[in-house]
Amino acid sequence: MKVTAVKTFPVLAGWRDWVFVKIETDEGISGWGEATLLGYSRTVEGAVHDLVNGDLIGMDPRNIELHWYTLFRNTWFRPSIVLLSALGGVEMALWDILGKSLNVPVYQLLGGAFRQQIQVYNNTWYFSAKTIEDYATLAKRAVSDGSTFLKWDPFWGCDVFPSEEEIQRAKECVGLVRSTVGDHVELLIEMHGRFSPHDAIRIARELEPFRPFWLEEPIPSQCGIDSLEKVAQATSIPIAGGEKTLTRWQFLDLIKSQVLKFVQPDITYCGGISEVKKIANLAEIFYIRVAPHSASGPLLAAANLHLDASIPNFSIQEFFYPDLGFYQEILMEPFPAPKNGFIQLPSKPGLGVEPNEDIIRTRPFEYPKKPLHGGHYTSLEKYGYNK
Output the DSSP codes for 50-103: HHHTTSSBTS-TT-HHHHHHHHHHHT-S-S-HHHHHHHHHHHHHHHHHHHHHHT
Locate all alpha helices (DSSP H) within the chain, ordered by sequence: 41-52, 64-74, 81-102, 106-109, 132-144, 164-181, 197-207, 225-233, 247-257, 267-270, 273-285, 298-310, 324-330, 357-360
SS3 content of the chain, % helix, strand, coil (to 5): 45, 20, 40
CA distances from 261 to 115, 194, 210, 291 (A): 21, 19, 18, 10
Of 49, 184, 192, 198, which residue is the catalytic one? 192
CA–CA gap between residue 11 and residue 353 (Å, rounded): 16
CB atoms within 10 A of CB 63: 12
In the residue annotation, 306 being an active-site residue is answered as no
CB 317 within 8 A of CB 308: yes
Of 184, 198, 293, 306, which residue is the catalytic one? 293
Beta-sheet pairing, 3-13 with 16-25: antiparallel
In the residue annotation, 184 being an active-site residue is answered as no
The catalytic site residues sit at 192, 293
